Amino acid sequence: MRDGGLRQLFQKHLSEVHWQAIESWGTGIGIPDLNGCISGVEFWIELKQAKANKVKISPGQVAWIERRLRAGGHVYVAVRKDTELHLFHGGDIRSLYIDGLRGAESLGTWGNGPAWWKWPEILAVLKG
């Protein structure tokens, strides 16, 4: 699991969001894994699993996210490291690409595994 099971966790715990999973390379290089919409707010989430400090991000993902942000879109990067979830603004994608988890300040960190992550707080961050 390259995403640490995050796709299923977001869909399960935030079931009120209308989710669209993006699963094909044929749709375009660098497109994030999940698109969500709730209460008229649309956002994209790139899902990653970290090994130690390292977050594997491709140059195509950096480029897509930066272009979407310049167009006014809402993009986030969710990183699972062991039992923790770290949520970053998409504007930190280049720092995460270069320096891993130490490269950016998260918008929130939740620990002790998915059952203990504060999903209403996570949704509030995603809604802006």
Model confidence pLDDT, tens digit, residues 79-97: 999 999 999 999 999 999 9
- Please give the radius of gyration of the chain, using alpha carbons only, rounded to the nearest integer: 13
Find out whether 108 and 122 touch, Cβ atoms under 8 Å: yes
The string of pLDDT tens digits covering residues 27-65 is 678 999 999 999 999 999 999 999 889 999 999 999 999
Domain 6-127: give its CATH code.
3.40.1350.10
Place of tokens 């998915």: 114
Contact predicate 30/65, CB 8 Å? yes
Sort 27 into a burial class: Cβ within 10 Å, 0-12 / 13-18 / 19+. exposed
Q: Given this model, what pLDDT does residue 79 score? A: 98
Please name which of 56, 7, 61 lies closest in space to residue 34, comparing C-alpha atoms: 7
Give the torsion through C-alpha atoms of 29, 33, 38, 40, to 10 deg. Answer: -10
What are the structural domain ranges in the chain? 6-127
Check whether 1 has a pLDDT greater than 60.
no
Rounded-to-integer distance, Cα 53 and Cα 56, Å: 10
Q: What predicted TM-score, i.e. pTM, was given to this entire model?
A: 0.95
